């Protein structure tokens, strides 16, 4: 009996492939409208931080909740007494070099993310990668001291609050002086929001990675 149903099932699945696809609509007017509305070459940043800013606010809140969840998850565990990292000099130098390059890329993506591929989230990922490479290269204890000394957790919260306040101003239509198309000042609130997102994602990644290293170790 199954041999009768199997051909019918295959024919049912392949039937939509026999029909012709509808002609795609032209997206040229949409792209031109977005470029004119946002005044930035990177339309992805324009969509994320202007035309669909509500989604971005929710994403920032979700990332904050994830960071809080990691803290709660590891709150009842004991820290590892000794954190082992890479010890051979070539690996340490390569990790530190990679961290330097990732940090520079993070700054570039944050400042010019609305002019080229990049943005706040991409910058935060690059910044978190730089911190992770430093932790692997044997700087876990130094990183922990810096995190506590400069109260990075408070700066992370301040970045979230600042992002929410500036997002409210942007959604209310409060304008910023805009420069010529293609310049850093051309994006209005977009570059400022990119910087705040980059700071928040970088510090949040630092907090989560730091906690995992403290309670789980590296090697």
Residue 103: count other Cβ atoms within 10 Å of its Cβ: 18
pLDDT of residue 219: 55
Looking at the chain, how many residues does it have?
219
User: How confident is the prediction along the chain (219 residues), in pLDDT tens digits per residue?
Assistant: 666 677 777 777 777 777 777 777 777 787 788 877 788 888 888 888 877 888 888 888 888 888 888 888 887 778 777 767 677 788 888 888 999 999 999 999 998 888 888 888 899 999 999 988 888 887 777 787 888 888 888 888 899 899 989 888 888 878 877 777 778 778 888 888 989 999 999 998 888 888 888 777 765
CA distance 150 to 74: 22
Rounded CA gap, 98 and 129, in Å?
9
pLDDT computed for residue 106 by the predictor: 93
pLDDT at 136: 82
Rounded to two decimals, the pTM is 0.77
> Residue 183's pLDDT is what?
80
Q: Which residues, other chains included, contact 58 with Cβ-Cβ below 8 Å and sequence gap of 6+? A: none
The pLDDT value recorded for residue 102 is 93
Residue whose C-alpha is closest to residue 46's, from 168, 159, 160, 181: 181
Residue 206: per-residue pLDDT: 87
The conformational region for residue 101 under phi > 0 = left, psi -120 to 50 = alpha, else beta, is alpha
DSSP symbols for 16-31: HHHSPPPPPPP-HHHH
Domain layout of the chain by residue ranges: 41-71+86-216
Q: What is the pLDDT of residue 196?
A: 92
Q: Can you give the pLDDT at residue 2?
A: 63
């Amino acid at each position: 009996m199954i041999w009768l149903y199997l051909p019918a099932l295959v024919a049912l699945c392949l039937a939509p492939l026999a029909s012709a696809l509808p002609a795609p609509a032209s997206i040229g007017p949409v792209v031109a409208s977005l470029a004119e509305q946002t005044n930035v070459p990177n339309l992805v940043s324009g969509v994320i931080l202007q035309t669909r800013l509500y989604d971005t606010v929710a994403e920032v809140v979700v990332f904050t909740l994830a960071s809080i969840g990691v803290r709660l998850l590891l709150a009842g565990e004991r820290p590892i007494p000794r954190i082992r990292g890479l010890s051979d000099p070539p690996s340490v130098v390569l990790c530190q070099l990679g961290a330097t390059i990732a940090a520079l890329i993070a700054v570039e993506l944050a400042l010019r993310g609305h002019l080229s591929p990049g943005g706040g989230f991409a910058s935060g990922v690059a910044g978190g990668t730089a911190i992770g490479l430093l932790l692997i290269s044997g700087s876990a204890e130094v990183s922990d001291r810096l995190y506590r000394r400069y109260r990075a957790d408070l700066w992370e919260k301040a970045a979230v609050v600042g992002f929410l306040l500036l997002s409210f101003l942007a959604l209310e239509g409060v304008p910023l002086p805009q420069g010529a198309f293609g310049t850093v000042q051309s994006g209005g609130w977009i570059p400022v929001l990119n910087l705040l997102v980059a700071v928040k994602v970088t510090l949040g990644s630092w907090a989560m990675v730091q906690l995992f290293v403290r309670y789980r170790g590296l090697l």
